[in-house]
Amino acid sequence: MTNNKIIEEIKAEISKIIVGQEDMVNSILIGLLTNGHILLEGVPGLAKTTTVKTVADVIDLKFKRVQFTPDLLPSDIIGAQIYDMKTSEFKIKKGPIFTNLLLADEINRAPAKVQSALLEVMQERQVTIAEDSFKVDSPFLVLATQNPIEQEGAYTLPEAQLDRFMFKIVVGYNTKEEEFQIAKKVTSSKKEDVNKVINKQSLEDLRKEVESIHIDEELQRYIVDIICATREPKEYGLEEIADYIQFGASPRATIDMFKAVKAMAFIRGNDYVSPLDIALIIKNVLRHRIILSYEAEAMQKTTDEIIQKIMEVIQVP
């Protein structure tokens, strides 16, 4: 079976449960192919949790879900050292972080201590409990959902943590036809079961294929120009948005773009990166990494609008 056929079969199995939401599904697959964490933002009821669970089933990965709440403790996620009364010894009880796909549900409802507990494992793929460090399973991805910050009890995530997410996907409502299909599917007496398409080893093989995807040097420089334009917009003739940006995207954004465009080309069945691959994912990579100024917020500007303006000005090679 060719790699493109494998991706199509994975998507076909996911579509048995999930109707529409192609951008979310593609982004999760790119995250799996590149070891990139994904942040999913949207109102409740848009199948964010169901999508992650379905992907885990199709790729035969371990899956755990943690509901983030204001009273959550770091030990509830990473584990703790506990005293065993029978043996009169301390032992390590590992938390739900030891899995392949960790669904951090409503991540922006938890306190700062819990947010910081995730930082080490997201970057280093290891956790520290008591005095010992433990590697998490491979592959390991945090797939976090968050509510729009306008909702009660939701807070903005720290910039350092946001930067560790490869993508921020804004999950919107389904179309009217998709909504009709969802209602029919959910209320039907016939329940669909998904089949496992690949396993961990097959996923590792696909990752190696993604790494070999060709990206031309001109396109690499084009990506770097886009990132640099978020930091120094005036140097690229973007004076009109200069006052709207407080901080531009970090070097991690450039690294994630290089990885993600290769995976996007792979998912689309190509063995090389095209400008279209960049256009398809640029907002997902940058929207959470550009910090807007007070002027931008006062003018109700969004990071998506800033990225769009940059894309319009910088010449495609």
Q: How many CA atoms lie within 13 A of 177 on its CB side?
A: 1
- Residue 249 contacts residue 231 (beta carbons within 8 Å): yes
Strand, coil or helix: what is 134?
strand
**pLDDT tens-digit profile of 90-110?**
787 888 888 888 888 888 787
pLDDT of residue 261: 93
pLDDT category of residue 313 using cuts at 50, 70 and 90:
confident
The secondary structure of 49-104, three-state, reads HHHHHHHHHHCCCCEEEEECCCCCCCHHHHEEEEEECCCCEEEEEECCCCCCEEEE
pLDDT at 149 over 70: no
Span 287-308, mean pLDDT? 87
More confident position, 206 or 189: 206
Domains of the chain by start residue, with CATH: 3-186 (3.40.50.300), 213-313 (1.10.8.80)
List the single range of 8-12, 216-220, 258-262 with lowest mean pLDDT: 8-12
pLDDT at 22 over 80: no
For the chain, what percentages of helix, strand and coil (3-state, to nearest 5) are there? Answer: 50, 15, 35
pLDDT of residue 110: 78
More confident position, 38 or 69: 38
pLDDT > 90: percent of the chain: 13
pLDDT of residue 93: 81
Span 212-217, mean pLDDT? 90
**pLDDT tens-digit profile of 217-260?**
999 999 999 999 998 888 888 888 888 888 888 899 999 999 99
pLDDT at 272 over 70: yes
Of the spans 68-77, 132-141, 217-226, which averages the highest pLDDT? Answer: 217-226
Of 191, 205, 215, the C-alpha closest to 277 is 215
| Rounded Cα–Cα distance for residues 91 and 81 (Å) | 6
List the single range of 112-116, 186-190, 226-230, 308-312 with lowest mean pLDDT: 186-190
